[in-house]
Structure 1
Amino acid sequence: MDGLSYPRLIRRHWWIVLITVMLALGIAALVTVRTPARYQASVTFFVTTPGQGTDASQTGLVLQQRVKSYADLLTSDRLAQSVVEESPLGLTANQVQGRISTSTEADTVLLKATFTDTDRTRALKTTEALSAKFVEMVQRVETPPGGSSSTIKLEVVSGPRVTTSPVSPQPVKNLVLGGLVGLLAGAVLAVLRGLADVRMRDAVALQRVTGSPLLGEVPYEAGAKAAPLIVGEAANSARAEAVRKLRTNLRFVDVHEPARVIAVTSALQGEGKTTMACNTAIALAEAGWRVLLIDADLRRPKVADYLGLDGGVGLTDVLVGDVHVGDVVQRWGGKSLLVLPSGATPPNPSELLGSKAMADLLVALRESADIVVIDTAPLLAVTDGVVVAVQADGALLVTQQGRTSRSQVAAAARALQSVSVRLLGCVLNMAKVAKADAHQYEAYKVVVPQASRSVPADRAGAARRGEPAMAGDRTQELSRLSR
C-alpha cells in the first residue's frame, strides 16, 4: 500500500473515527465527574551550613548531595509516623507517606515538599506538621554525637500554603487528551478495518486485480433499481453519462483491432452485468451504431424482462434449429437496436453455447451488425460465461463496488485469461461518487427538450455511412444470413 492508502481508509471509515472519539470524550467526561477534587499544599526548604566554609564551591556540592538525601527522608515512614502522632487528622501513616511528593531544583539547595489531599484544610494542616517535624528530624540527625548544634541548617523559605482551586481533575485537559486518544485509536481501527475488508472498494484496486484498464465507473443511484435503463428521465442522469463514457472507451480501447462482439460478464450474480449490457447496447445504438443485444445467460435470463420483450422464443430455439434467427430477433424502441432473447431454458446450457451452431451464428451476426453485445452468465457460478467469451472478440468484466471480494474478481479474471480471452477492460458498478463530482455534473448537464429527443440517432448515423436505417431491413438481412 502507498502512503495515500491509509488516509483513504480513514476517510472511507470516518464513522469509526467519529464513534471512537465520542466514546473517548464520554469516558474522559465520566472520569472527570467521578474523580474527587484534590488540593495541594506545599512548603519549600533551604539547606545551608551555620558557618561559612573555607571552600564555598566544595560546601555547595556537599549541600546539593544532602538535599537529595533529604528528599528521601521526606517520604520515609518514620517522618510520616511522627506527623500522625503529632497531629491526628484522620489519616494513617501509610496514607500520609503515599501523598507526599518531593522535588529539587538543579544546582540549588532548595527542596520542595508537596502534600495532596481531597480536603483543603487537612492538606494545609498536614503540611504544616510535616515541615515542623522534618526540620526537627534533620536537626537531630545532623547533630554530631556529644555536640550541641547541628552542622546543617534547614529553613522554611516558602509556605506552607495550599492551592485555592483543585489541581485535579482538570476538565479541559482530560477532554483534550480523551479526544486525541480517541482520534488516534479511531484512525488505527479505521485502517485495520480497511485492511481486513477484502471487498472491492475502488477503481484503482479493480484495475490492479484484473490487470485491465478501467473503462467505466458507473455511480450508484437509488432509483436505478426501479428504472434500470438509461431512457426517459434517466437519460440525463449521472449514471447515463457514465455509460456513455463507457461507450466511448469501448470504441477506442484498441483502434487497430476494435471489438465487434463483446461479452459482458461478472464474477458473481447480482453485480449488474445484465443492466450494464442493456444500457451499453442502448448507448451504442443512440450513437448510430447497428447493435444486436443477445441474452446468452440461459440459466437466469433477464434481458427480455428489462426491455419489456417476449423472451419465450430466442437464442436456444435458433441453436437447436427450430427457428431462424431473423424470425425471433426483436426491434427495441426507435433506436437501431435489435434484441435476441434467450428463449426456452435448455437442460444443457454450456454444451449448447459451446456448440458449432453458436459459433456459426456469431459469425453470421458479426456481419449483420456493427456491434454485438452478449449478456453472459457469471464466471464463478458456471462455465457458460467463459464458453461464450471465448467466441467473442473480448470480454467486459462488471464488478459491483463493496460487494465482490478482491479474490473473487481475481479468480474471474484468471478464468478468462486461462482460455486466452481478451479482457477489454473492467467496469466498477454502483460506485460511490464524491459529492463534488456529482454537483459538477448536475451543474453542467443540459436538459434536452422532449421534442428533440424524438429524432432517431440511428438514422443520422446510418445516413453518414450509407447504411440502412430501418431495423426491418436488418431483420431481413439476419433472416437471409441464417438461411
Structure 2
Amino acid sequence: MDVREVAQAPRRRWALVALLALLGALAGAGWSLASPDRYRTTTTLIFSLQGGSSVNDLAQGGTYTRDLLASYSRLVDLPVVLSPVVEQLDLGVTPTALARQVDVTTPSDTSLLQIAVTDGSPERAVAVADAVAAQLTTTVAGLSPDEVGGETVSVDVTVVEPAQVPDAPTAPPLPVLAAAGAVAGLVLGVALLVLLALLVTPVADRSTARRLTGAPVLAEVPRGGRVGRHPAPTRSEPRAPRAEAVRVLRTNLLALQREHDVRTVVVTSPTAGGGSTTTALALAAAAAELSQRVLLVDADLRSPDAARRLGLEGTPGLADVVRGRVGLEEAVQAWGSPGLDVLPAGTPHDHPAELLGAPRTAEVLAHLRQTYDLVVLDAPALLAVTDAAALAARCDGALLVVDARSSRQRLVVDAAERLGLAGASLLGVVLGRVTGTGGPRGATDERAGAADVAVP
C-alpha cells in the first residue's frame, strides 16, 4: 500500500474517525467532571550566608550557599521536615503521602528555593506550604555549619514570597480536557485506520494487485464465479462471465507460451481457500479445448482435491511416480472431451516437501514438459508450506490466484516475495471475486504486460 492509499484510508472511514473524536471529547469531559478539584500554591525562600564582611567574603558566601542549596532542597521531602508538619496540622497522612503533594524547585544560578503544595483544599494547601517553609528554616538552622574558613557564619532562610490562597483549581477546565480528548480520539482513529489499511486491507482491484506483485493481471473473475458447480465453466456455462474470464486467462497464458515457451505452470494462492484449485481445473479444461495436449497435475500432496472434483481416482498418482512405484502411463487418467489428461496426487506421503524437492521430481517435470503442450500444476498455498514455491522454481513459472475480497495486501506481497526468494517467476495474477468489472476484460488488456514478464 502506497502513501496515497494510506492517506485516503481516514477519508473513506471518516465516520469512524468522527465517532472516536466524539468519544474522546466525552471521555475528557467525563474525566474533568469526575476528578476532584486540586489547588496549588507556592512559597519562595531565599538562602543567604551571614558572617563575611568583605566583597570577596560575600561572593564566596553566595557560592557556598548555592552549593548547599541542593542539599537543603532534598530535605523538604524527608520525614525530618514533613513529620512535624503532619503533627502540627493534624493532616492524618504519612510523611511519604504528604511528600507526593510537595514539589521543590531551585532556579539555576540563584539562592532561591520554591516549595509548591497541591491539595484538595486551597486553605490547607497554603497552611501546608507555610508549615513546610517554617520547618525547613528550623531544620536548616540546626544543620548548618557555625564556621566556614575560620569565620563564624550562619545560614539565614527568609520567605520572600509567601503562599497565596489559589482562587481556581490547577486542573485544566472542562473545555480544555474535552478538546484534548477529541484530539486524542482523532489521532487514535486515524492511526487505527492507517494500521488496518496496512495490515488487513484486501487487494480489491487490478491496479493494486499489479502494484503489489509487479506482475500483470491475466484475468479477473467476477464476483460469484470463483466457485463453480462444474470444474470446466467454458463447457458447462460457455456464455457465463466466469467462463469468459477463463478464456481471457487462457488467451494471455497462450501469449506467454508463444513468446517465452511457457509449458509448465504452477497455480497457487497466498493462503488456503484462495481458489487456486478451481482456477487450475478451469484453465486446464479450457486449454484442452484448443486441441492442445494438456496435463493437469494435482501437486497438493497434503490435501489433494483436483481428482475428486473431476470424479477420478486419487491413486496412483504423482507421489507414486516420483517414488518409482508406477510408471507415468499407469498414473495418468483421461477426463472429458476434448481430452484432458490428469495426474492425481497419488498415495499420501509423510514428507511431501522432501518428495517434491527430490531430484526424481525434477526429472518427471522435465519429461512432462517434453510430452505435453501445457502442464498445469495445482499446488498448496504459498504461505502455508514451501511446496508451491519449490515446485514453481522447477517449472516455467507460477500463477498467483488472489481473492479481491479476502486476500490481504500484506499476504499477497509476502507470497510474491516467497516466489522470488525461491527463484521462481511470477507469470501473472488471477484476480477472483472482482466487483463491478463490467464483465471480464479482453485478452489484449494484459498481453502487453504479460510479454514483459521475466521468465526462465
Give TM class, smaller chain. 0.5 to 0.7
* Partner residue in 2 for 1:377: 380
User: Over aligned residues, Cα RMSD in angstroms?
Assistant: 3.4
* Partner residue in 2 for 1:330: 333
User: 1:263–1:396: 8 Å Cα contact kept in structure 2?
Assistant: yes
Counterpart amino acid of 2:240? S
Quote how far apart the aligned CAs of 1:387 are: 1.5
Quote how far apart the aligned CAs of 1:293 are: 0.6
Counterpart amino acid of 2:214? G
- Please give the residue correspondences for 1:102-251 in structure 2 after superposition, counting only pairs within 5 Å: 197-221=200-224, 224-251=227-254
- The reply to whether residue 350 of structure 1 matches residue 333 of structure 2 is no
Equivalent residue in structure 1 for 2:277, among 274, 278, 281: 274
User: 2:200–2:410: 8 Å Cα contact kept in structure 1?
Assistant: no
1:389-422 superposed Cα distances (whole Å, 9 cap, x missing partner): 1110111111111212111111111111112211
Structure 1 distance, partners of 2:311, 2:281, is: 12
| Structure 1 segments unaligned to the other structure (5+ residues) | 22-187, 442-483
Structure 1 distance, partners of 2:252, 2:405, is: 24
- Please give the residue correspondences for 1:251-400 in structure 2 after superposition, counting only pairs within 5 Å: 251-253=254-256, 255-400=258-403
User: 2:225–2:433: 8 Å Cα contact kept in structure 1?
Assistant: no
Counterpart amino acid of 1:277? A
Structure 1 distance, partners of 2:199, 2:367, is: 49
Using the size of structure 2 for normalisation, the TM-score is: 0.54
User: 1:395–1:425: 8 Å Cα contact kept in structure 2?
Assistant: yes
Structure 1 distance, partners of 2:332, 2:197, is: 47
Structure 1 distance, partners of 2:441, 2:404, is: 22
Structure 2 distance, partners of 1:283, 1:336, is: 11
Quote how far apart the aligned CAs of 1:10 are: 7.2
- The reply to whether residue 403 of structure 1 matches residue 396 of structure 2 is no
In our comparison, the structure showing a higher alpha carbon Rg is: 1
| Structure 2 segments unaligned to the other structure (5+ residues) | 20-189, 443-456
1:278-302 superposed Cα distances (whole Å, 9 cap, x missing partner): 1110111112211011011000111
Structure 1 distance, partners of 2:232, 2:10, is: 33
Counterpart amino acid of 1:429? G
Structure 1 distance, partners of 2:10, 2:204, is: 10
Give 3-state SS (helix, strand or coil) of 1:415's partner: helix
Counterpart amino acid of 1:404? S
Counterpart amino acid of 2:285? I
Counterpart amino acid of 2:312? L
Using the size of structure 1 for normalisation, the TM-score is: 0.51
User: 1:331–1:337: 8 Å Cα contact kept in structure 2?
Assistant: yes
Matched positions, count? 274
User: 2:220–2:430: 8 Å Cα contact kept in structure 1?
Assistant: yes
Structure 1 distance, partners of 2:207, 2:440, is: 23
Give 3-state SS (helix, strand or coil) of 2:337's partner: coil
Counterpart amino acid of 2:337? G
Q: 1:271 to 1:240 in 2, by over 3 A?
A: same
Quote how far apart the aligned CAs of 1:232 are: 4.6
Give 3-state SS (helix, strand or coil) of 1:242's partner: helix
Give 3-state SS (helix, strand or coil) of 2:431's partner: strand
Structure 1 distance, partners of 2:199, 2:365, is: 44
